[in-house]
């Protein structure tokens, strides 16, 4: 497959995930419909929690587990979108190397979060400035939850933490990219006021190319 190899040059994580925001897991009611003030800032990560579920900054010690989560989520989500050859060839060792490198030396303004159930890391998010040169716009580059933890609340807690971090960083608006047939994720984002704004993308690093839709949210109303 012509897409980037997992962990190649230590850049696969952000290069590939930045246009494929993936699997969440919990499709609850839209929090934006009932939120009247920003939630607790997640620079105090451990306060962003529900029973047994919490969010914190990723550390290099999480790298191997994050590689496992990333690969499991892609394989569960993208069968039929990416080739079996590509998905089955994703290598946990190379992915862990990429995670360690990116956590130790993140891009400017990039933040890596993990969500835990008890002591078990079950998902991650990557966020920061948008790829486009717009200082007021942030981007949710990636968010994945391990398939074993779908529909158990971890994705909702993680997503709320990522949203609040984008707000705390001062972004007025943020966007994400989602594969166009990923109805589960699209429903999740739409329920949380991240709406399809008409932007589209064909990621030609993959063969066949992956078609994506852009969802965005204006944060001014929740400040």
How far, in Å, CA of 5 to CA of 13, rounded? 10
pLDDT at position 3: 32
> Under DSSP, is residue 88 helix (H, G, I), strand (E, B) or coil?
helix
CATH of the domain at 167: 3.40.630.30
Is 63 a member of any domain?
no
pLDDT at 34 over 50: no
Examine residue 170 and state whether it is found in any structural domain, yes or no.
Answer: yes
Identify the domain containing residue 177 by its residue range. 20-58+109-222
In the three-class reduction of DSSP (H, G, I as helix; E, B as strand; rest coil), residue 220 is classed as helix
The pLDDT of residue 18: 44
Look at residue 2 and tell me if it is in a domain.
no
Is the confidence at residue 39, as pLDDT, over 60?
Answer: no
| Out of 24-38, 61-75, 155-169, 180-194, least confident range | 24-38
| 131-163 pLDDT, tens digit each | 776 778 999 999 999 999 998 899 999 999 999
Answer yes or no: is 49 within a domain. yes
pLDDT of 22 reads 52
E-strand ranges in the chain read: 49-50, 53-57, 111-117, 120-129, 137-145, 173-179, 195-203, 210-218
* 53 in a structural domain: yes
The answer to whether residue 16 scores a pLDDT higher than 90 is no
- pTM value is 0.81
Give domain status of residue 174, yes or no: yes
- What total number of domains does the chain contain? 1
């Amino acid at each position: 497959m012509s897409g980037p190899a997992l962990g190649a040059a230590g850049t696969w994580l952000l290069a590939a995930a930045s246009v494929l925001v993936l699997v969440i897991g919990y499709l609850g009611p839209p929090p934006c419909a009932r939120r009247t003030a920003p939630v607790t800032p997640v620079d105090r990560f451990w306060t962003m929690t529900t029973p047994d579920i919490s969010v914190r900054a990723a550390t290099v010690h999480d790298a191997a587990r994050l590689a496992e989560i990333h690969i499991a989520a892609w394989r569960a989500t993208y069968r039929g979108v990416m080739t079996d050859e590509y998905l089955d060839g994703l290598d946990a060792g190379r992915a862990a190397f990429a995670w360690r490198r990116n956590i130790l030396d993140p891009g400017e303004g990039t933040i890596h979060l993990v969500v835990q159930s008890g002591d078990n890391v079950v998902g991650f998010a990557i966020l920061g400035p948008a790829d486009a040169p717009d200082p007021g716009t942030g981007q949710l580059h990636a968010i994945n939850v391990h398939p074993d933890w779908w529909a158990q609340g971890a994705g909702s807690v993680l997503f709320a933490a990522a949203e609040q971090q984008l707000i705390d960083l001062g972004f007025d608006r943020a966007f994400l990219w989602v594969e166009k047939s990923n109805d589960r994720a699209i429903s999740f984002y739409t329920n949380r006021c991240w709406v399809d704004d008409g932007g589209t993308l064909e990621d030609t690093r993959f063969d066949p190319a992956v078609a994506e839709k852009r969802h965005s949210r204006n944060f001014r109303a929740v400040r």
